[in-house]
Amino acid sequence: AVMMKPQVVFVLGGPGAGKGTQCTKITENYSYTHLSAGDLLRGERAREGSEFGQLIDRHIKEGQIVPVEITINLLKKAMEETMKADEKKFRFLIDGFPRNEDNLQGWSRVMDDKANVKFVLFFDCSNEVCIDRCLERGQHSGRTDDNRESLQKRIQTYLQSTRPIIDQYEKQGKVRTVDASHKVDEVFADVKAILDKEG
């Protein structure tokens, strides 16, 4: 059988904008596989014998972006395993990546000839709403970065490093923006309209 070339939608937006929540809803309604770069990194951090555990832990607490060599390998492996298990699963939502220039270059180097980036789904949300959502979640999430100090740094990194990446894609006409400040179902209605149009 001929392997389909993976089709990728990058899902970006500030910390707590609702990327994970909306990706879950998308997978319930469309044939996409959700890969959260943050979840993959947290999984690697927890993996027995990982040589990167401490480095990942430090970066996440400090709201810094992990070197792309680590993240791209996790993403590539997850994509390959998904397609190996089921060749019909070649559509991916890559959530929380690429976050900076290093991420973008790593993706280009490793994945440019292996996958097609269809567009960027951008969840646009004010910093205040993002912070409130993460602090609220922090009461039960157990995430080491859902506290005021880490959030300050996550927002900073988002504004300094990730927004310019979104801007680059915007200049290529590749960004689909959703107002993420509304209720979950209202946001999802906008997401649906985009996906129904884009296929």
Residue 184 or 193: which CB sits closer to ligand UP5?
184
Instruction: Give yes or no for residue 84 binding ligand UP5 (CB under 6 A).
Output: no
Answer yes or no: are the C-beta atoms of 76 and 111 closer than 8 Å.
yes
Q: How far apart are the first and last CA of the chain?
A: 23
Give Cα separations from 80 to 88, 92, 170 (angstroms): 12, 11, 28
Instruction: Give yes or no for residue 43 binding Mg ion (CB under 5 A).
Output: no
Cα(166)–Cα(50) distance, rounded to whole angstroms?
31
Instruction: Give yes or no for residue 16 binding ligand UP5 (CB under 6 A).
Output: yes
Stretch that binds ligand UP5, among 11-19, 82-90, 110-118, 167-175 (CB under 6 A): 11-19
In angstroms, what is the C-alpha Rg of the chain? 16
Residue 70 or 172: which CB sits closer to Mg ion?
70
Nearest approach, Cβ of residue 105 and Mg ion (Å):
23
Cα(91)–Cα(39) distance, rounded to whole angstroms?
18
Q: Among 4, 159, 184, 189, which residue interacts with ligand UP5 (rule: CB under 6 A)?
A: 184
Q: Among 7, 21, 73, 161, which residue interacts with ligand UP5 (rule: CB under 6 A)?
A: 21
Instruction: Give yes or no for residue 17 binding ligand UP5 (CB under 6 A).
Output: yes
Cα(119)–Cα(21) distance, rounded to whole angstroms?
19
Cα(45)–Cα(51) distance, rounded to whole angstroms?
9
27: partner contacted, choices ligand UP5, Mg ion, none (Cβ within 5-8 A by kind): none
Nearest approach, Cβ of residue 134 and Mg ion (Å):
10
- DSSP conformational letter for 86: -
Instruction: Give yes or no for residue 140 binding ligand UP5 (CB under 6 A).
Output: no
Instruction: Give yes or no for residue 20 binding Mg ion (CB under 5 A).
Output: yes
